[in-house]
Amino acid sequence: MSILFNLTFFQIASIVISLLAFGAAFWLYKWVSSQPSSNQRIAEVGKLIRNGANTFLAKEYKTLVRFCTVAAILIFIFLPVPVWKGNVLDNVIMAVSYILGTIFSGIAGKIGISIATIANIKAAEAATKGIKPSFMSGFRGGAVMGMAVVGSSLLGVTLVFLITGDTTALLGFSFGASSMALFAKAGGGIFTKTADISADLCGKVELGIPEDDPRNPAVIADNVGDNVGDVAGMGADLFDSNVASMAAALVMAAALDKTAGGFVNAAMVFCYAAIGLFASLIGVLSARMKEGGDPTRALNTNTYVTTAIFAVLTAIATYAFDFKWEIWAASAIGLAVGVIIGIASDYFTDDRRPPVHAVAKACESGPAFTILSGVSYGLISALPSMIGIGVSALAAYKICEPLGNGYAMFGISMAAVGMLSIVGMIISNDAYGPIVDNARGLVEMGSLGDEALEITDSLDSAGNTVKAVTKGFAIGAAGLTVIALLGAFMSEVNTAATEAGMISAGENYIQGFDIINPVVFFGLLFGAAIPAVFSAMLMLGVDRNAQRMVAEIHRQFKEIVGLKEGKADPEYDKCIEIATHGAIKELIPAGLMVIICTILVGIIGGVQAIGGFITGNIISGLLFALFMSNSGGLWDNTKKYIEAGNNGGKGSDAHKAGVVGDTVGDPFKDTAGPSINTQITVVSLVASLTATIFLTFSLFG
């Protein structure tokens, strides 16, 4: 058999391309680090931000190590089957795979923090020389994160599958990544929005001082939050989605290959994932912006170039290796819909578009109208993305259905792989946002001049716009991924039922879920309620934490003589400490609630109820995530649009109403919204991993 048609060939190619991505990340890291920086004040503030971010990450990881240790022990005891009933080695492999998933995710987050806290300083000082060098420092800093995250995810999945040959172990690896992402995103989101809300309310609203005024005790915590929430948190989130999409596709591919003989479907998954990373690698290294150019256009152009490279290379690979063109079409549809979802998010959040202008106009009438209009546009914005996810799933299903039994759901999983194929570029764009946001604050605190401030304002505005697009993309990708995971859950149940002698080989124990069945409907309702409760728990955590920080800011302005006049330094570390302790305290309960409820539904209603639970969770979760992310992005850019001199400008009543809207939107877009897509992935993975247990034991299943 030719090496070109050997599964090992594609796995080795995936490892090589992963290593190339790490090499590119290292080169980009060195390039950013070598950029000049000499401003002493910026160096001091940058060090405070870096120390604060590392302190939080160390405490968060210490907490998560304890949680993951307990989880690994429970996985060893009960999965894939209770240790006293099955092969002990299978349980060991599952536990080790889970631990590896958490480690790979944690390393990716640490790399992101390391470069982001260097790139912010470099981008700030580069702004004195022009928009191009500042943009390149910010983008290449984000690209380190992009290459590291996707390289880690592809390498991890490939190694686990290559060594174990076990798709259930892949689900264990994916669950490790998901549990880490759930807590990293929730904890980082609570930290960043605690500081952001407190800094805005006390600074802009109460005292009328600028956003990044060094007199504000919360300003350093706010900048730290940008890194732990929007860099480490979002990196863990997209690492999780990428791993989950590949794991779901490989579970179904392995089942199809087992029936048909050979390995062509598994080879296709590795081939497409490797090409996606290679396309992102080319896109990142070739990214440029002309002096005086538009940073938003430059970021979007990079994305479109990467998309085109992936589409062309996968078509060539499909022809060369005689893969099925229907599967290629499914992945291409997923990729196209990902771009469409991004464009829809852009329309509702870009300050050049009508929705932002309409909300800015509403701000002139007061905060109540700001909230009403923002909520309304956020709800409307969910429709095109929900339809896009539905259309891509339907199209992929129908295109691949004629290929035979099981290929329809495999087509959906490959649409998810296609949508996430350019995730390296998406993460690069996303991490660029908090880097240039930090750079803007450093320019203000380092007094680098109005021209540098205008440049970083322009870069920050582009970051906010593109960040809204990448969040929409991440949520859409999570939607397709969890639909694929629903297929993986059904595949796991059918395989377990066959091994248990409940059905004959080739038969299906589950082909779908009848919502008229009261057990399924019970799970559907329960699952639909979880995203709402999960969101409330996170936002209440922000609320409680922000109230403590506001009280601390008031204390400092009252007790520190000369602080208001700028003659004394605030105690920045106090605010960082409040945000850190509060985030660590609040992050575990919400995540545990999700896992416990999934297991509870399985105990009550078995695999049928779990199927309904996953379905309800997907639909409700996607709706909440899209609504909150887009509303929050809309309010954020409305505030910036007013600050640019529109609808009364800074200091006007409309501006104060815009700040209130932005404050409400902060936990929407940066805490709850982007955490929900991780939550629905966790639910689907827990369900798949426990499928065998609930197939044989439940109260009413």
Q: Inform me whether the pLDDT recorded for 211 exceeds 70.
A: no
The mean pLDDT value of the chain amounts to: 89
pLDDT, tens digit (0-9, with 9 covering 90-100), for 345-383: 888 988 889 999 999 999 999 999 999 999 999 999 999
Scanning the structure block, which residue is given the tokens 């048909």?
260
The whole-number average pLDDT for the span 33-62 is 90
* Residue at 488: amino acid letter: A
pLDDT confidence of residue 400: 96
pLDDT above 70 for 79? yes
Report CA Rg, the chain.
Answer: 24
Q: What are phi and psi of 691, to 5 degrees?
A: -55, -45
pLDDT band, residue 169 (cuts 50/70/90): very high
Give CA–CA dist 385/130, Å, rounded. Answer: 37
pLDDT of residue 701: 64
Of 277, 187, 184, the C-alpha closest to 232 is 184
> Sign (positive/negative) of CA torsion 97, 103, 105, 107?
negative
For helices 518-559 and 673-689, what crossing angle results, to 10°? 140
Please tell me the distance from the alpha carbon of residue 8 to that of residue 451, in angstroms, as a whole number.
55
Condensed to tens digits (0 to 9), the pLDDT of residues 568-601 reads 889 999 999 999 999 888 888 998 999 999 999 9
Alpha-helical segments (H) within 261-366: 264-286, 295-320, 325-349, 354-363
Q: Assess contact for 41 and 212: CB atoms under 8 A.
A: no
Calculate helix-pair angle for 264-286, 131-164, nearest 10 degrees.
160
The residue to which tokens 């905060």 are assigned: 367
Share above pLDDT 70 across residues of the chain, in percent, rounded to a whole number: 98
Token pair for 145:
């994160």
State residue 268's pLDDT score.
95
Count other Cβ atoms within 10 Å, centred on residue 405. Answer: 12
Give residue limits of the domains in the chain.
Answer: 3-696
Which contiguous run of DSSP H or E holds residue 73? helix 40-78
Residue 1: pLDDT over 50: no
For residues 162-187, average pLDDT: 89
- CA-nearest of 332, 324, 421, 321 to 9 is 321
Confidence band for 566, pLDDT divided at 50, 70 and 90: confident
DSSP symbols for 567-603: SS---HHHHHHHHHHHHHHHHHHHHHHHHHHHHHHHH
Angle separating helix axes 88-126 and 167-199, nearest 10 degrees:
40
CB-hemisphere CA count at 13 Å for 49? 35
Tell me which of 52-66, 166-180, 463-477 is least confident: 463-477
With cut-offs at 50, 70 and 90, classify the pLDDT of residue 39.
confident
Helix axes 673-689, 167-199, angle to 10 degrees: 160
Taking residues 413-438, report their average pLDDT.
89
pLDDT for the residue numbered 69: 95
Q: DSSP readout, 437-465?
A: HHHHHHHHHTT--HHHHHHHHHHHHHHHH
The arithmetic mean of pLDDT across residues 530-551, rounded, is 94
Q: Is the dihedral of CA 238, 240, 242, 248 positive or negative?
A: negative
- How many whole angstroms separate alpha carbon 224 and alpha carbon 229? 9
pLDDT attached to residue 232: 83
Q: Which among 404, 476, 463, 537 has a CA at the least distance from the CA of 674?
A: 476
Q: Identify the CA nearest to 521 among candidates 599, 608, 593.
A: 608
Q: Which two tokens stand for residue 630?
A: 């887009």
Confidence (pLDDT) at 534: 96
Distance CA 70, CA 77 (A): 11
Which contacts qualify for 454-459: CB closer than 8 Å, 24 or more apart? 455/127, 455/130, 455/131, 455/134, 456/123, 456/124, 456/127, 456/134, 458/131, 458/295, 459/123, 459/127, 459/131, 459/134, 459/135, 459/138, 459/295
With beta carbons less than 8 A apart as the criterion, state whether 373 and 358 touch. yes
Task: Write down the pLDDT at residue 530.
Answer: 97
Q: How far apart are CA 303 and CA 341, in angstroms?
A: 13
pLDDT at 352: 85
pLDDT at residue 491, as a whole number: 82
Residue type, 223: N
Which residues 6+ apart lie within 8 Å of 383 measured at CB?
A: none
pLDDT in tens, 309-347: 999 999 999 999 999 999 999 999 988 888 788 888 888
- Average of per-residue pLDDT across 2-27: 87
Model confidence at 449: pLDDT above 80? yes
Backbone torsions φ then ψ of 457, nearest 5 degrees: -60, -45
